[in-house]
Amino acid sequence: VVVAGAGLAGLRTVEQLRDRGFGGGITLIGAETRPPYDRPPLSKKVMAGVIDDTSLPFDPGALGITARLGEAACALEDGVLRTATGGAYPFDALVLATGSEPVRLPGPGAQRTLRTLDDALALRALLRPGLRLAIAGAGLIGAELATAAVAAGAQVTVVEYAPAPMLAAVGPDIAAVMTRWYADSGVDLRLATGVSSVEDGGLALADGSWLAADEVVTAIGARPRLDWLDGSGVHTETCVLTTERLETSAPGVFAVGDCAAYLSGRYGRRLRFEHWDIALHAPEVAAANVLGGSEVFDPVPYFWTEQFGRMVQYAGLHSPSDRLVWRGDPAEAKFGAFWLDADGRLTALLAVGVPKDVVQARRLLLAGRAAVDPDALADPSVPVRAAALTG
Ligand SMILES: Cc1cc2nc3c(=O)[nH]c(=O)nc-3n(C[C@H](O)[C@H](O)[C@H](O)COP(=O)(O)OP(=O)(O)OC[C@H]3O[C@@H](n4cnc5c(N)ncnc54)[C@H](O)[C@@H]3O)c2cc1C
């Protein structure tokens, strides 16, 4: 078995193959020279200066695998994976776990991104009182970086194309709450503002104005790199397309993590998430199916983000038409918000500082969309599990 991509999803695939008793050869191919490491802490504890190293436990000898780090897969043909350094790896099964890469803005000026440990260490070294930092994008990474940068005394401006932060993920009501977090933290958040180009010394904005900056960080999203799969028989659109069993259109080729969109029976469509939880769990299913199983990957999506001193957790998947039920006051340090569909069934929740509500709601979501009593949900003194209606 060959695994392309030595991030969390690639490493987990290797571990799962061994945990499931596979005794054959495994080669793990990773473009980065570093052994596998975790990314969520890069914009949190690493950026805050609390830790420098996010390595995942990795012992190729104990796993009995061949690790080829610093080698990028560059072509796939006739059951052989080729790498840019001239390697050729025949396989019976291949798992694609190549993640995604930050999207960049147009323009000749210097722009940084935050994807790798080296990106994080270099960026952290620049943070200082008075630094004029412009961040393009008020998503998860933009918000977390802004949090660390203001704590370091930087003057932070975040430019967001949409009318609110994280709008697509959390909807307008929660996004309005998040907008206030920026202001309360002293971050200048400019909404509905496009960037025309990155120039030396700042950003040329779409409205014709100029934003001066000492450093520019682009955090407008990430996309899988797919050009190397051209002609391979692996069907791609903006990502690698898989079945519910995480198989691609090419025989014996599977895909997991950020690079893949899987067919979800639960939601009736293909889904791609850049969520740590997906990279952790999809490899369990991929490994089982590489070994001849027929397991289905269909989780309740989950992500968290730590921004402006708050732990934010989201589970499920809501539609814009779902009804929102608040649990507690969103102006307070702790609150929740639940989405219910037209039949009164729970579709998703977002919780700030109340992890126990998340645990209970995830159980309800996993069990199938439970009908819930909105009044009970709205009352923080009633446990979330007790809001489920039975019968
Ligand atoms: C700064 C940051 C903060 C985050 N915070 C959160 C969070 O708070 N909560 C959350 O849920 N998620 C978070 N995420 C998302 C989460 O980290 C990702 O979903 C997860 O890392 C995806 O794992 P992966 O293994 O699929 O991809 P990756 O981690 O991207 O690993 C893929 C690896 O494959 C390598 N590769 C790429 N192309 C090739 C090739 N052709 N050949 C060989 N190797 C290749 C890459 O170099 C990379 O090392 C964060 C991500 C970042 C960047």
DSSP states along 113-165: ---SHHHHHHHHHH--TT-EEEEE--SHHHHHHHHHHHHTT-EEEEE-SSSST
Rounded to 5 degrees, what angle do the CA atoms 50, 188, 328 make?
75
**Could you tell me which of 181, 176, 169 has the C-alpha nearest to residue 140?**
169
Minimal-distance CA residue to ligand 1 atom 2 = 40
| Ligand 1 atom at minimal distance to the Cα of residue 31 | 44
List pLDDT tens digits, range 175-188: 999 999 999 999 99
List pLDDT tens digits, range 124-145: 999 999 999 999 999 999 999 9
State yes or no: pLDDT of 247 exceeds 70.
yes
Mean per-residue pLDDT, 47-63: 98
The overall average pLDDT reported for the chain is 97
Kindly indicate the confidence band of residue 368, based on its pLDDT and cuts at 50, 70 and 90.
confident
Distances (CA, A) of 238 to 32, 136, 222: 22, 22, 11
State yes or no: pLDDT of 294 exceeds 60.
yes
> What lines the ligand 1 site, CB under 6 Å?
4-10, 29-32, 39-40, 42-43, 72-73, 97-100, 114-115, 140-141, 225, 228, 257-258, 274-277, 279, 303-305
What is the Å distance from ligand 1's center to 326 Cα? Answer: 33
The predicted model scores a pTM of 0.97
What is the Å distance from ligand 1's center to 115 Cα? Answer: 7
pLDDT, position 261: 98
Residues 6+ apart with CB under 8 A from 134: 157, 158, 159, 202, 203, 211, 213, 215, 216, 217
| Ligand 1 atom at minimal distance to the Cα of residue 116 | 53
Minimal-distance CA residue to ligand 1 atom 4 = 40
| Ligand 1 atom at minimal distance to the Cα of residue 8 | 25
pLDDT, position 102: 98
List pLDDT tens digits, range 255-264: 999 999 999 9
Distance in angstroms (rounded) separating the CA atoms of residues 88 and 218? 35
Q: In percent, how much of the chain has pLDDT > 90? A: 98
Kindly indicate the confidence band of residue 37, based on its pLDDT and cuts at 50, 70 and 90.
very high
pLDDT, position 302: 98
State yes or no: pLDDT of 391 exceeds 60.
no
Distance in angstroms (rounded) separating the CA atoms of residues 372 and 355? 19
Mean per-residue pLDDT, 273-287: 98
Mean per-residue pLDDT, 230-248: 97
Minimal-distance CA residue to ligand 1 atom 3 = 40
Kindly indicate the confidence band of residue 310, based on its pLDDT and cuts at 50, 70 and 90.
very high
pLDDT, position 390: 75
Kindly indicate the confidence band of residue 336, based on its pLDDT and cuts at 50, 70 and 90.
very high
Minimal-distance CA residue to ligand 1 atom 17 = 39
State yes or no: pLDDT of 73 exceeds 80.
yes
